[in-house]
Amino acid sequence: DTEVTQTPKHLVMGMTNKKSLKCEQHMGHRAMYWYKQKAKKPPELMFVYSYEKLSINESVPSRFSPECPNSSLLNLHLHALQPEDSALYLCASSQDIAGGTDTQYFGPGTRLTVL
């Protein structure tokens, strides 16, 4: 099974709402990632978790709060977002090998619209 699942597929929220994005993988991967992708742009790394600990935070605003409850799950909690945060949010996972670089498997993404 090389699948990464993400829910919901689409999300529309107001600027005062609190919502969460969920990501799940059952490949035994110990590294999990959140990316943000704007239209016609490449994915931008937001966060990396390695063995359920936050390893990389690419200076992401605090209105985005990641959480890794266990080795299979990754959440992204959203609060007080801005319209410019509207984007496709992609989750990925990989083996946590020495050096960290390995093939990343991506989920289908959550299309987020902030009104």
Backbone angles phi, psi at 85, to 5 degrees: -80, -5
* Minimum CB distance to another protein smaller for 81 or for 110: 110
Q: Which amino acid is at 97?
A: I
Q: Kind and range of the H or E element at 114?
A: strand 110-114
Q: How far apart are CA 57 and CA 44, in angstroms?
A: 12
Locus of tokens 């990989």: 94
- How many Å is the Cα radius of gyration of the chain? 13
Q: Which of residues 47-76 bind another protein (CB under 8 A)?
A: 48, 50, 55-56
Can you tell me which of 21, 31, 112, 114 binds another protein, judged by CB under 8 A? 31
**Short-list 39, 27, 40, CA closest to 107:** 27
Q: Which residues contact 42 (CB under 8 A, 6 or more apart)?
A: none
- Is 64 or 110 the residue whose CB approaches another protein more closely? 110
Least distance to another protein, CB of residue 80, Å: 26
Minimum CB–partner distance for residue 108 and another protein (Å): 5
How many binding residues for another protein (CB under 8 A)?
Answer: 28
* Contact track, another protein, 96-115, x by CB under 8 A: ---xxx-xxxxxxx-x----
Residues that bind another protein (CB under 8 A): 4, 6, 31, 33, 40-43, 45, 48, 50, 55-56, 88, 90, 92, 94, 99-101, 103-109, 111
